[in-house]
């Protein structure tokens, strides 16, 4: 192995209570909200086909025009209690809010920047009321923070000369101050979700990102921070130059999921997912495929079955309301979670051989294993193959608490016969197993 000062400082997952809590929650809500919701992917009658929150980088959008948008940001319909109630009914147990995206606009009245909510017609802090409302609804809050800051005069993508290096140092202090300010203002938050750490200026200063992570942990012990913050001293990101994960969980699963348990290498991990193919901030015209409730449920269940968390993104409008599609998704997901959420919360990899009909999930630390069925075979018979010395002693569908009588096939294999061969929602079956000595 390579001797590293600023690589991973831990092998294996964190075992403390704060990380166990994060792991148990399994289902989160991402919220991308900021000035980009005002144009909503459109400008001067033209449609920006990129991600709406990147519209400032579009050649048709003059930077000075974008940078004036704050003068009209006035979310008069913002109702954090409604936001939290929607998330609660959807079954989300944590929420990640963009405090500042790449454009540098701060949703809180930071004393280190003029480019904040304080300069808008709204004037008031948006983060505090949001965090309070979500916490009151029993939902943890994590803060998204972009290191890239297109608005800050000292931000440099790369450091080419002494002037750049001096600016870079000032910018690093600015980042450190803003993060300490967020922890001081919002002491109940549980973690940071860093983004925008791919530029050379950040990648080439692994020491700073390492020291920053330790500084934040010293201010707020137990903080959960993913692998995207860090670089090691050789510029390796997420995994250090010895292939060891930095940070508390693998944070690279953006709009994609691991295929098998081998893909996650035993690490904690989290996937973040958009509803359209690639829109995080509000875009007036969603084009292409928009994911359905059942597609999202399968991503959530697959993530949990592979020991990961799943976070679904919402992009509120500039006025503070959610678009109809997102409201309908939240309601549909919530309807299923109300009956079947016990298979998701505290869910872990069951250690059973994957079957075509769907996914196994083991409730952490118990013998309870759930089958979440997405593909009912034509035969209607679900094959359940158990590990050696494990016996199936019972099974019941959560919906209606219907008992299923396992048909023993031989060795550790059984069939479970579903009463019907069609359903428009995933079917969850709780297995009772006993593992012999």
Ligand X SMILES: C#C[C@@H]1N[C@@H](C)[C@@H](O)[C@H]1O
Interaction site with ligand X (CB under 6 A): 32, 51, 53-54, 195, 254, 272, 280
CB of 53 to ligand X, least distance (A): 5
Q: Which residue is nearest to ligand X (CB)?
A: 280
Smaller CB separation from ligand X, 251 or 433: 251
Q: Do the beta carbons of residue 245 and residue 238 sit within 8 Å?
A: yes
Q: How far apart are CA 41 and CA 53, in angstroms?
A: 8
CB of 117 to ligand X, least distance (A): 19
CB of 40 to ligand X, least distance (A): 15
CB of 141 to ligand X, least distance (A): 16
Smaller CB separation from ligand X, 96 or 382: 96
Smaller CB separation from ligand X, 315 or 358: 315
Smaller CB separation from ligand X, 252 or 377: 252
CB of 142 to ligand X, least distance (A): 12
Nearest alpha carbon to residue 340 among 370, 302, 310? 370
Smaller CB separation from ligand X, 194 or 352: 194
List Cβ neighbours of 36 (8 Å cut-off, separation of 6 or more): 52, 53, 54, 55, 56, 101, 103, 281, 282
Smaller CB separation from ligand X, 171 or 253: 253
CB of 171 to ligand X, least distance (A): 19
């Amino acid at each position: 192995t390579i001797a590293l000062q600023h690589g991973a400082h831990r092998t294996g997952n964190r075992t403390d209570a704060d990380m166990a809590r994060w792991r148990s929650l399994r289902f989160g809500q991402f919220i991308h909200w900021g000035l980009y919701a005002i144009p909503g992917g459109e400008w001067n009658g033209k449609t920006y086909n990129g991600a709406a929150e990147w519209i400032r980088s579009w050649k048709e959008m003059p930077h000075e025009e974008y940078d004036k948008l704050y003068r009209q940001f006035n979310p008069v319909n913002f109702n954090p209690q409604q936001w939290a109630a929607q998330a609660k009914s959807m079954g989300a147990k944590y929420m990640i809010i963009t405090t500042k995206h790449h454009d540098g606009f701060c949703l809180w009245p930071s004393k280190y920047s003029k480019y904040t909510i304080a300069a808008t017609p709204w004037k008031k802090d948006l983060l505090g009321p949001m965090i309070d409302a979500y916490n009151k609804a029993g939902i943890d809050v994590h803060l998204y923070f972009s290191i890239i800051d297109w608005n800050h005069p000292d931000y440099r993508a790369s450091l080419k000369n002494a002037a750049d290096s001096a600016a870079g140092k000032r910018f690093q202090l600015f980042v450190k101050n803003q993060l300490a300010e967020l922890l001081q203002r919002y002491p109940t938050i549980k973690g940071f979700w860093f983004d925008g750490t791919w530029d050379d200026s950040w990648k080439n200063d692994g020491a700073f990102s390492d020291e920053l992570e330790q500084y934040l942990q010293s201010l707020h012990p137990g903080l959960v921070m993913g692998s995207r913050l860090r670089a090691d001293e050789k510029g390796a990101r997420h995994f250090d130059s010895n292939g060891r994960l930095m940070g508390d969980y693998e944070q690279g699963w953006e709009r994609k999921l691991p295929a098998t348990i081998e893909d996650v290498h035993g690490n904690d991990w989290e996937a973040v997912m958009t509803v359209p193919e690639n829109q995080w901030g509000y875009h007036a015209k969603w084009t292409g495929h928009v994911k359905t409730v059942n597609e999202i449920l399968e991503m959530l269940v697959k993530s949990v079955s592979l020991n990961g968390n799943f976070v679904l993104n919402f992009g509120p409008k500039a006025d503070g309301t959610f678009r109809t599609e997102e409201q309908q998704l939240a309601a549909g997901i919530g309807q299923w979670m109300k009956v079947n959420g016990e298979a998701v919360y505290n869910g872990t990899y069951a250690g059973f051989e994957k079957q075509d009909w769907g996914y196994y999930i083991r409730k952490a630390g118990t013998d309870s294993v759930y089958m979440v069925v997405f593909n009912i075979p034509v035969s209607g018979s679900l094959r359940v193959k158990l590990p050696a010395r494990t016996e199936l002693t019972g099974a019941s569908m959560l919906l209606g608490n219907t008992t299923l009588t396992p048909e023993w096939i031989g060795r550790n294999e059984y069939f479970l016969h579903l009463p019907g061969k069609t359903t428009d929602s995933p079917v969850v079956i709780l297995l009772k197993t006993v593992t012999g000595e």
